[in-house]
Amino acid sequence: MHGRLGVYSDDVFQLERTAAGPRISADQAFLLFTCAVGQHFDRLLLFGRTLRADRPADHVLPPGTELVALPYYASLRRLGALARAAAGTVTGMWRGLARVDVVWVLGPNPFAMVLIALALLRRRRVVLGVRQDTPAYFRSRLPGRRWAPALLPVRALDSGYRLLARWLPTTVVGTELARGYGSRRRCSRRRDGPPGHERRRPAVLPMTVSLVPARDVAAAVPRRDWTGPIELLAVGRIDREKNPLLLVDALAHLERQRPGRHVLRLLGRGPLEDAVRRHARRLGVDGRVVFEGYVPFGPALLRFYRQAHILVHVSLTEGVPQVLIEGFACGTPVVATDVGGVRAALDGGCAGLLVPPSDVGRLVTAINRLVDDADLRDRLVAHGLVTARAVTLETEASRVARFIAGEAGEKA
């Protein structure tokens, strides 16, 4: 399709000067999906806070991706740095908008709102993007209830974004979040039209973020040896909202029930890594926890899924986790907490076992069910493979690109 696409997200880009030209990289795997969407346009420009670097971040973005480098600030909580970056950010956004026809604004956050206003002033097509339940995400990161007032500006931004979504086309990750944004087009009566004359509000497109190309989806249910050691795999940032201490608690329960049978392999890094190590030592299972560090998406990551027996995902808040789709594609049985869009991703439990968040007993029971019941495993994995084939990188990127370009009839 024709046109120039701009994408804004509150992520940090690293920019290197190499002999072959500028190289752009980032730590967020979601930006690889963004670039796949951009390949359906004549040109892709990413708007984002930028650091000059001597080496790349985790994910190097494809050649031809362009960057509107905005001033860097470490966090929205650093109000002084935010204020210093404001003027340069607004100027950079205004100039960058001259080079695009449509802009996909991923939010909500304060600068996303600024870019939306500037884009409308320049008469650019604006499409909103929402990746997660923002209030739930920040609530899960609060150190205690006395910090609840800090959520007031977050809720205000979220409400503003939901209001804008009544008038602007919007992509959201997962059907659960889509319901909160009104996933069906509603009809509203025009104030300036005759009685009975109606117009349709812009649509909301539920999407699934998948990095798995069709060629990497397993052709059939894989065969694993379930008679020996059982490897539990967890993939994700080792942070509060991912609830990694629960994984160690579950491993300790399993060790008491079936000594020496289970190993927990963690792929990721984050601020709770030392706390997880200490918790494992305290419970006497540190010898059965393997820390692999961060593994970017690619063949090495998919090998970890294929060698694991069970993917265990125990987040406190989620949209639709990419790791679930990766697990489905590799034919890995899944146990996941019933939060956010996880239930819909697991088709109500047809593609994986759902457990309540923070319930170690139910988590252990679900793991044991998968280990002991071959028929159950095969049914879940087969259903997961069907899901993975329906949401490959190629399929989802094309679908989102058509919607952003206005070529999908704004159909939810």
DSSP annotation of 72: P
Query: Rounded distance, CA 223 to CA 225, Å?
Result: 7
Of the chain, the end-to-end C-alpha distance in Å amounts to 20
195 pLDDT higher than 50:
no
Residues of the chain with CATH 3.40.50.2000: 4-210+394-405, 214-391
Rounded mean pLDDT, 383-399: 97
189 pLDDT higher than 70:
no
Assigned fold of 214-391: Rossmann fold (3.40.50)
List pLDDT tens digits, range 63-72. 989 999 999 9
Percent of the chain residues past pLDDT 90, beyond the cut: 73
Cα dist from 196 to 67, 187, 190, 193, whole Å: 47, 11, 9, 8
What's CA 375's distance to the chain center, in Å? 31
List pLDDT tens digits, range 151-166. 788 888 889 999 999 9
Token representation of residue 30: 């979601």
197 pLDDT higher than 80:
no
Query: Rounded distance, CA 286 to CA 278, Å?
Result: 8
Rounded mean pLDDT, 101-107: 96
**Who's near 119: CB < 8 A, 6+ residues apart?**
97, 103, 105, 126
List pLDDT tens digits, range 17-29. 888 888 999 998 9
Query: Rounded distance, CA 71 to CA 89, Å?
Result: 6
- pLDDT interval class at 76 (50, 70, 90): confident
Higher pLDDT, 186 or 404: 404
Q: Structure pTM?
A: 0.87
What rounded mean pLDDT belongs to the chain? 90
**Who's near 394: CB < 8 A, 6+ residues apart?**
36, 213, 214
List pLDDT tens digits, range 246-255. 999 999 999 9
Q: Coil, helix or strand for 264?
A: strand
Task: Give pLDDT, residue 1.
Answer: 66
List pLDDT tens digits, range 27-46. 989 999 999 999 999 999 99
Task: Give pLDDT, residue 158.
Answer: 87
> Under CATH, which number does the domain 4-210+394-405 receive?
3.40.50.2000
